[in-house]
């Protein structure tokens, strides 16, 4: 009978842990991000194939093979919008990027699923990407400051920003 007194406490910890691991913070739906990127008129989605040398280059940027064989993007004139995902520590982070004229115009965290590191969603972090371009096919020309306690999330967003710029460049030659 002694275990009946501690059972509610144990159950509370198990439920709290379960809720935390299932957390998904949606800051902006991807469709709304794309709509905003193009002043309310969403262009027809296009497909970029991530195969061959493009796949190899994406793997160099990400530090692992990309999970996709193709990715959707939206284009109007020189402006493209990309909704990409990368693992932070253990869960995917969904981010949106607007590229115009080969430079990042906006970077946003759309959906965050990790239990730590959500500070990357704030504008003090994401505005560092504005104006960034590719220095090489695997590096940004801008230094991005980290956030204590969010190292893996910062790294994931930096890689995604680089990937968005690379994909933007590749979308023009396809």
Q: How far apart are CA 62 and CA 64, in angstroms?
A: 5
Each residue's pLDDT tens digit, 107-144: 999 999 999 899 999 999 999 999 999 999 899 999 99
Each residue's pLDDT tens digit, 17-69: 444 445 799 999 999 999 999 999 999 999 999 999 999 999 999 999 999 99
Query: What are the boundaries of each domain within the chain?
Result: 24-171
Q: Write down the residue that tokens 């194939």 correspond to.
A: 49
Question: Which pLDDT value is given to residue 5?
Answer: 58
């Amino acid at each position: 009978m002694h275990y009946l007194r501690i059972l509610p406490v144990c159950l509370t910890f198990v439920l709290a842990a379960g809720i935390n691991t299932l957390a998904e913070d949606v800051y902006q739906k991807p469709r709304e991000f794309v709509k905003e990127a193009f002043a309310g008129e969403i262009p027809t989605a296009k497909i970029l194939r991530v195969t061959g040398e493009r796949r190899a280059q994406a793997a160099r940027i990400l530090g692992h093979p990309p999970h996709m064989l193709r990715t959707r993007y939206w284009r109007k004139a020189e402006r493209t919008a990309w909704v990409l995902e990368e693992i932070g520590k253990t869960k995917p982070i969904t981010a949106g990027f607007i590229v115009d004229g080969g430079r990042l115009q906006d970077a946003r965290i759309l959906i965050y699923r990790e239990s730590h590191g959500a500070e990357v969603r704030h504008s003090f972090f994401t505005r560092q990407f504005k104006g960034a371009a590719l220095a090489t096919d695997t590096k940004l020309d801008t230094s991005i400051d980290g956030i204590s306690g969010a190292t893996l999330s910062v790294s994931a967003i930096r890689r995604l920003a680089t990937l968005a710029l690379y994909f933007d460049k590749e979308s023009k030659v396809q």
